[in-house]
Structure 1
Amino acid sequence: MRKRLGFAAVMALLVLLLAPVPAVARPDQGAPVTVPALTRWTPESGAYAFRPGARLVADGPAERRVADTLAGDLRAAGHGTVPVVRGGARTGDIVVDIRSSRTSLGAEGYELHAGSRLSITGATETGAFHGTRTLLQLLAQDDRIPAGRTVDVPRYKERGVGVCACYVHISLPWLENLVREMAYNKLNQLLVELKVKSDAHPEANSWGYYTKDEIRQLVALGDKYHVEIIPEINSPGHIDPWIENRPDLQLTDSDGAKQPSRLDITQQAAFDYYTGLMDEYAQVFTAKSWHMGADEYMLGSDFAKYPQILKYAQQKYGPDATPQDAFVDFVNRVHDHAASKGIGLRIWNDGLTGANTVPVDTDTTVEHWLNVAVKPSGLIAQGYSVMNSAYSLYLIRGGFHSDTESLYDQKWDPRSFEGERLASSRGVTGAKISLWPDNGRGETENEVAVRLWPALRHVAQATWGDPHPDASYAEFVARGTAVGHAPGWRDLTRVPVADGTYTFGRSFTASVQRTADGYVTLRSAAGCLAISGGKLTLNVPLQPGVEATWDACDPTNTLQRWELEPAPGGHRLVNAITRMALTVTDDGRIVQYPADQRTPAVWHLS
C-alpha cells in the first residue's frame, strides 16, 4: 500500500523539481568553457565536486612536481590548501598520472576525466601540466565540473609570444605576469630580445639590461610553468645596444663612416665578441634554442656601400660569391657555435632573399614575418622548419596593433603567412604574437597589457585547436572573461596611496593623482614631474643620470607617469616608461638610475 504525501511534502517536492538545475553535463551539452577550447569532449552524467578535503594524488617524482605546482596555484586562486599525497585515490580527489605508453597524447597532450574524482593523464610531465591548466580554468568558473572526458592535444608544436625588451626596459613583474598567462592558456614559448648585464664586456652595460639574478628568476618561473624562454641578441644588424661603445666592431662604409647598429661580419673579433655573449647568456638561460635575429642587416642595395663584404665572400667562396654569402656565412658560423653547445638556431626570414649562393644550414628554424622573394613554401621545400611570426600578429608600442577581431572572423590560422597561405601545415612549427617598442613612450606597460590579453588568447586558440570555436568574436572574448587571469597574476594597476597632496620627505610637495592606466602623476606649482632630457632612443630618454624636471603638465605624456613602489619606510618613484628609479644626488638633484647602479631614494609620504 502506497503512502500518500501530505500537502507540505508535495509542495516541498515541487520546489525541488522546479528549482534551477546545477550546471552538470548531460549527453546533449557542449564542452565546458576553456581557452583554448577543448578539442574533444564526451559528456557523462553527474559532476565532479571540488570540496574541502580534496587531495592531489601523485605517485612518481614527475607527477609530484606537477601536483606541487597545481597545489600552489589552487592556493593562489583562493581554493585553499590541497595536500599532495601518494596512492589510494578516493571520491573528491584529483589524480595526476604520467604514462609514457599513452603515445597518442604526444609531448603536450593530456586526458582529463571528471567523475566522482578527477584524473589528469599525460604521456609526459608537460602534458599532465597542461591538463592542470584546464582544471584551474574550470574551477575559476565553478567548484562543480560537469562529468565527462576530453583528450586534448595541440595542433602545433610552437605556440608563443615574442617580446623586445631590447631598448625600452620592461619590468620583471610584467614579464612574470606574461609567463603565467602564457602557461594558463597553454602557450609554450617566450622569445625575449633583451640585454643581460655582462661581466665579460662591461662597456656594453648601458641602460636597458637585466641582471643575471633577474633573468634566473624569470627563467625559473618559465621552467616551472613549462614555458621555454628563448633569448635573442639581434645580429649582425640592430646590435647597437651592444656595440655602441665598441667602434672597433662597427661596420664602416666606403666613406669611412661607422655604423653603430651593424656588426662588421668580416672581422673574427666581431664573431668572437658575439659568441662570447652567447656563452655568457648560457649561464642564465636553459632554453635549447638561440635566436640571433639576422633581420634588416642590409636593405635594398646597401651592400654596395661596403665593398669589404663582397671581398670577404669572394675570398672564402670564390669569384661567384655575393655579399649576402658573407651574411649567410656569419649566420652559419653562429649556428655551428650554438650546435656545439646542443642549442638550435632561429632567425628572422627577411635576410633570405635568394641572392646568396651559400645556403643557411637547414636545421635552422626560420621565423617568417616579412613578405620577401623567398616564400614560406619555398623555405619548407628546402627543408627548413618555419614559424609564423606574421606582421599581422604584431603589437607595436605606440603604433600598429594586431586586429584580433578581424583575424578571428577570418578564421586565421598558422598557415596564413605574410604574402602566402599554405594548403598544408607541413613544415609549420606554429605561430606567435610579437611586441615591439618602436615608439617606446607611445604606451605604458599597463596599456600594452590591455591590448595583449585578447591577442594572446587568440593565438593560443589558433595554435592549439580550432581557430574559430565560437560563432562570433564576442563569444570568444567571453571565453577569456570566464576563465579570467592565471593564478598568481598580479594587478599592476593598483596604486598604494589615495589621491591627495603629499610631502615627499624633504624633497618636494606634490599632488598625487592616479592615471587611468594605474600610475600616478605628481603635480606641483612648477608643473608635473617628468623625465624629459638626455639622448632619445625610440623616443625615450634611456640614459642613466638624466635629471627629473617639472614640465608643463600633459595628460598624454607618458614620461610624466610614475609607479609608486612600496619600500621599507616609504615609497620609491619609478618612471613608467624608462623603468628607472629616482635617486637624490649629494647636491640635491633628483635623477634616474638603474637600481643596481644607484640605490633608489625612499620617500616617506606625509
Structure 2
Amino acid sequence: MIAAPLPGAAASASAASVAAAAPPVTVPALSDWTPQEGSYSFGRHTRLVVDVHDKEARDVAATLAEDLRQAGHGAVPVADSGQGAVRGGDVVVRVDPAREGALGKEGYALTAGRTLTITGATEAGAFYGTRTLLQLLAGGHRIPAGRTVDVPQYAERGVGVCACYIHITTQWLENLVRDMAYHKLNQLLLELKVKSDAHPEANSWGYYTKDEIRRLVALGEKYHVTIIPEINSPGHMDPWIENRPELQLTDSDGKPQPSRLDVTSPEAFAYYTSLIDEYGEVFTADSWHMGADEYMLGSDFAKYPHVLEYARKKYGPGATPQDAFIDFVNRVHDYAAAKGKRLRIWNDGLTGDNTVPVEPGTTVEHWLNVRTKPSELLAQGYPLLNASYSLYLVRGGFHMNTKSLYEQRWDPRSFEGEKVASREGITGAKISLWPDNGRGETENEVAEAMDLPLRYVAQTTWGVPHPDATYEAFAARAKTVGHAPGHRDLTRLPVAEGTYTLRDTQGRAAPADWRISRTPDGYATLTSAATGRCAETRSGKLTLNTPLQPGTPVTQETCSATNTLQRWQLTKVRGGYRLTNAITQMALHVTADGRLLQYPADQQPPAVWRLAAH
C-alpha cells in the first residue's frame, strides 16, 4: 500500500523524488534500478506467495521465511498463489525458466510496489533475489518502489580457506557460508583434512569428522554455496604422508621429503586417488582441487634424477622433469573426470618448462606471477580464476589492502603481473585465507579483518568495481547491510568476568581458582588467582608455530596480552561450560590426578566445567 503523504509533504516532493531515484542500499550494489512512485511496506500481514506446483520457488520461500525469522522480522507464512488474490505487502517468489535469456542462471528481477515480486529463471536466481530483499529490510520495513534486473558479471565468486593444518571451527565456517550467500558469493574452496577411515595413520590433528563436513555441505547447498574440497598435491602433502615414507619423494642422497609425494610411484597415485574417493563420501561438488603448487619449493628437480628418467621413459628423450609433474596432474584430472568432477589447480606449477600440456578444461586459479602469463593460459583455452596474492589474508601476516584496491577500481581482469583486456574466459575471483603463522591471529580477528574484503570481492565479481565515490562510502554501505540472518556472534563471553572455582561434572577441580577476563577479540584468559600466571598450551610438536599435538599439557605461564595461545573459547553446553583453546581448537580435559591436557573432542570427552563464582 502507498502511504498517504504527511501534511506539508508537497513542499519537499521534489527533494524526496530525487532521493527516491537513488538505488536502495545493497552489497553488491544495484547497478540497474528504475525508481517508481511510492514504496513497498513489509508488515505483520506479509505473506510469501508461491505457486504450489513450483517446488524450486517453494524451497526458496521456505529458506526466506526462516531467514526473516532469524533476522527479527517475525514468522512469515508461505501461501499458495492459488488460494486467493495477492495482497498488499505480500512477497511473490517465482521461478520462470523462460526468463533465462535475460536473467541467466543466477540473475533475478525484483519489483517493489504495492507488493514485492522476485523472479529468477532458476532456483539460484530467485534465491539471490531474496538476499537482496533481506538486505533491503536491514534498512527498515519500507522499501522505495522500483524495479531492478540484477545479473552477475562472473560465474565464480568466492572465498578460499586453508583449514589444512590449523583447525577452524565449524561455527566460524557456518558464519562464513551464510555471509557469503547474503552477499551473493557462491563458491567456497576448503583445503582441509577429513578424518580418514581408510588411512588412520594420517589422522594428525586438526581434521574434521565426516559428520561435521556433511552438515557444512548441507548448509552450503541450502544457501547455494558450492563447497569445493582440496587436498594439495603432489607438494604440501605432509599432513597426509608424514607417516608414509614409502610414498615420499626421495632425493639423490636417499632422504625422503615428507611434504612431496613421489609422482613416479603407482602406490603414491593410488593413495591420493583413494583420498579423492573418501572425500566423495561427504563432498557433493562437481569439482576437485588438487592444488599442484610449490612442488619444488626450496629445492629443484636436479636432486631427484629418477623423475627425469620417468618423464623420458614415458614421453621420449626431449621430456623434462616438469613433464612428470604435469603427467601426475593429468592422471588426477582423468581420475576426477571419471568420477564426474572437473579439476582445478594453482597456476605456479605451469612454469613453461614442460612439453606435455595440462589437460583441456582444467581450471587454473592464478595467484602468482610466473613465466606463463594469464593471457597465455586464456589463449590456450583454460578457464581462469583470479586468486591474486593481492586478495590474500595471511594469518598474522599480509592482509589485502581493500581501500587501495577500491580506489584503483580493481576488477577480476587484474592478475598478478598482468591485466587482461577482456572478461572472456575469466571465471571470477576469490579472496584467500592462509594460516602461514597459525598462532598469529585468532579466528575472531580474522573474521573482523575479512569483513570488508569479502564484501568488496562480492561487489567486483557480481557488479561494478566502484559503486560509491569513496571507499569510506562503500564501507558505510557494507555496515548498513550488516551480517546475514543466522550469523552467530562468536565474540560474546557467556559468563561475567570474575574469579571462579572450576570443577568438572565428576567433581575434579582445575588446580587453583581462576580469574576469567574477556580479551578484545571475544575470548577468555584464565589467570591463576594464586600465581598470577595464565593457562596456556605450548608443548608438543609445532605445526606452523602452533602446538597441535593431542594430549599435551596445559600449563601456567607468564601472562601476555599478545599471546594467542593464552586465549580460550568459553562455550555454554549442557551442565556447564566447555573450554577450548582459541588457536589449537583442542578442548581442556582434566585427568583423575588433576592434570590439565588438550585433546580433540572426538578423542577424549571434553570436560564440562561448573563455575562457582567468588
Instruction: Report the equivalent of 1:10.
Output: none
Deviation at 1:341, TM superposition (A): 1.1
Instruction: Report the equivalent of 1:199.
Output: 197
Deviation at 1:374, TM superposition (A): 0.2
Deviation at 1:24, TM superposition (A): 7.3
Give the Cα–Cα distance (whole angstroms) in 1 for the partners of residues 6 and 49 of structure 2: 41
Matched residue of 2:447: which SS? helix
Equivalent of residue 431 in structure 1, options 412, 426, 429? 429
CA change 1:116–1:300 in 2 (3 A) is same
Verify the 8 A CA contact 1:27 1:44 in the aligned structure 2.
no
Give the Cα–Cα distance (whole angstroms) in 2 for the partners of residues 23 and 416 of structure 1: 40
Deviation string 1:159-185 (CA, Å, 9 cap, x unpaired) is 000000000110000000000000000
Deviation at 1:239, TM superposition (A): 0.8
Instruction: Report the equivalent of 2:525.
Output: 521
Instruction: Report the equivalent of 2:136.
Output: 138
Give the Cα–Cα distance (whole angstroms) in 2 for the partners of residues 58 and 590 of structure 1: 56
CA change 1:23–1:596 in 2 (3 A) is farther
Deviation string 1:302-350 (CA, Å, 9 cap, x unpaired) is 1000011101111111111100100000000000011001100000000
Verify the 8 A CA contact 1:24 1:145 in the aligned structure 2.
no
Matched residue of 1:146: which SS? strand
Instruction: Report the equivalent of 1:161.
Output: 159
Deviation at 1:90, TM superposition (A): 1.9
Matched residue of 2:68: which SS? helix
Deviation at 1:299, TM superposition (A): 3.7
Deviation at 1:210, TM superposition (A): 0.3
Equivalent of residue 507 in structure 1, options 510, 514, 517? 510
Deviation at 1:84, TM superposition (A): 0.7
Deviation at 1:28, TM superposition (A): 6.3
Deviation at 1:25, TM superposition (A): 6.1
CA change 1:14–1:204 in 2 (3 A) is closer
Give the AA of the match of 1:63: A
Instruction: Report the equivalent of 1:572.
Output: 578
Verify the 8 A CA contact 1:370 1:391 in the aligned structure 2.
yes
Give the AA of the match of 1:543: Q
User: Superposed, which structure 2 residues align to 1:447-462 within 5 Å?
Assistant: 447-462=445-460
Give the Cα–Cα distance (whole angstroms) in 1 for the partners of residues 410 and 542 of structure 2: 38
Instruction: Report the equivalent of 2:264.
Output: 266
Deviation at 1:572, TM superposition (A): 1.0
Instruction: Report the equivalent of 2:506.
Output: none
Give the Cα–Cα distance (whole angstroms) in 2 for the partners of residues 598 and 39 of structure 1: 53
CA change 1:385–1:72 in 2 (3 A) is same
Instruction: Report the equivalent of 1:587.
Output: 593
Instruction: Report the equivalent of 2:539.
Output: 533
Deviation at 1:588, TM superposition (A): 2.6
Verify the 8 A CA contact 1:180 1:225 in the aligned structure 2.
yes
Deviation string 1:265-300 (CA, Å, 9 cap, x unpaired) is 111110011000001101101111110000000147
Give the AA of the match of 2:388: A
- 1:394 aligned to 2:388? no
Give the AA of the match of 1:583: H
Instruction: Report the equivalent of 2:40.
Output: 48
Deviation at 1:535, TM superposition (A): 1.3
Equivalent of residue 94 in structure 1, options 73, 91, 95? 91
Give the Cα–Cα distance (whole angstroms) in 2 for the partners of residues 67 and 118 of structure 1: 13
User: Superposed, which structure 2 residues align to 1:532-571 within 5 Å?
Assistant: 532-571=538-577
Deviation string 1:176-198 (CA, Å, 9 cap, x unpaired) is 00000000000000000000010
Deviation at 1:565, TM superposition (A): 1.1
Instruction: Report the equivalent of 1:422.
Output: 420
Give the Cα–Cα distance (whole angstroms) in 2 for the partners of residues 452 and 107 of structure 1: 28
Give the Cα–Cα distance (whole angstroms) in 1 for the partners of residues 553 and 11 of structure 2: 67
- 1:31 aligned to 2:23? yes
Deviation at 1:248, TM superposition (A): 1.1
Gaps of 5+ in 2: 504-508
Give the Cα–Cα distance (whole angstroms) in 2 for the partners of residues 14 and 364 of structure 1: 61
Give the Cα–Cα distance (whole angstroms) in 2 for the partners of residues 557 and 370 of structure 1: 32
Deviation string 1:521-564 (CA, Å, 9 cap, x unpaired) is 01113310000111111010011111000001111000000011
Deviation at 1:29, TM superposition (A): 1.7
CA change 1:279–1:250 in 2 (3 A) is same
Deviation string 1:204-240 (CA, Å, 9 cap, x unpaired) is 1110100000000000000000000000000000010
Give the Cα–Cα distance (whole angstroms) in 2 for the partners of residues 199 and 588 of structure 1: 33
Verify the 8 A CA contact 1:24 1:146 in the aligned structure 2.
no
User: Superposed, which structure 2 residues align to 1:363-378 within 5 Å?
Assistant: 363-378=361-376
Instruction: Report the equivalent of 1:188.
Output: 186
Deviation at 1:262, TM superposition (A): 0.4
Give the AA of the match of 1:218: L
Instruction: Report the equivalent of 2:172.
Output: 174
Matched residue of 1:333: which SS? helix
Verify the 8 A CA contact 1:111 1:152 in the aligned structure 2.
yes
TM-score w.r.t. the length of structure 2 is 0.95
Matched residue of 2:21: which SS? coil
- 1:79 aligned to 2:80? no
Give the Cα–Cα distance (whole angstroms) in 2 for the partners of residues 401 and 552 of structure 1: 29
Deviation at 1:513, TM superposition (A): 0.5
Verify the 8 A CA contact 1:24 1:45 in the aligned structure 2.
no
TM-score w.r.t. the length of structure 1 is 0.96
Equivalent of residue 378 in structure 2, options 355, 358, 380? 380
Verify the 8 A CA contact 2:394 2:435 in the aligned structure 1.
yes
User: Superposed, which structure 2 residues align to 1:218-229 within 5 Å?
Assistant: 218-229=216-227
Instruction: Report the equivalent of 2:306.
Output: 308
Give the AA of the match of 1:250: Q
Verify the 8 A CA contact 1:511 1:523 in the aligned structure 2.
yes
Give the AA of the match of 2:204: S
CA change 1:413–1:166 in 2 (3 A) is same
Give the AA of the match of 2:198: A
Verify the 8 A CA contact 1:23 1:146 in the aligned structure 2.
no
Deviation string 1:478-515 (CA, Å, 9 cap, x unpaired) is 11111111000000000011110000012231111000
Verify the 8 A CA contact 1:500 1:513 in the aligned structure 2.
yes
Deviation at 1:27, TM superposition (A): 8.5
Equivalent of residue 246 in structure 2, options 248, 251, 262? 248
Give the AA of the match of 1:52: R
Verify the 8 A CA contact 1:291 1:347 in the aligned structure 2.
yes
Deviation at 1:586, TM superposition (A): 3.4
- Identity rate of aligned residues, in percent? 69
Deviation at 1:585, TM superposition (A): 2.3
Deviation at 1:18, TM superposition (A): 8.3
Verify the 8 A CA contact 1:24 1:47 in the aligned structure 2.
no
Deviation at 1:71, TM superposition (A): 0.2
| Stretch of structure 1 that moved more, 557-566 or 586-595 | 586-595
Verify the 8 A CA contact 1:25 1:44 in the aligned structure 2.
no
Give the Cα–Cα distance (whole angstroms) in 2 for the partners of residues 583 and 511 of structure 1: 19
Verify the 8 A CA contact 1:564 1:571 in the aligned structure 2.
yes
Instruction: Report the equivalent of 1:69.
Output: 63
Give the Cα–Cα distance (whole angstroms) in 2 for the partners of residues 562 and 287 of structure 1: 34
- How many residues were matched structurally? 594
Deviation at 1:301, TM superposition (A): 6.0
Deviation at 1:145, TM superposition (A): 0.5
Verify the 8 A CA contact 2:21 2:34 in the aligned structure 1.
no
Matched residue of 2:57: which SS? helix
- 1:466 aligned to 2:464? yes
Verify the 8 A CA contact 1:499 1:512 in the aligned structure 2.
yes
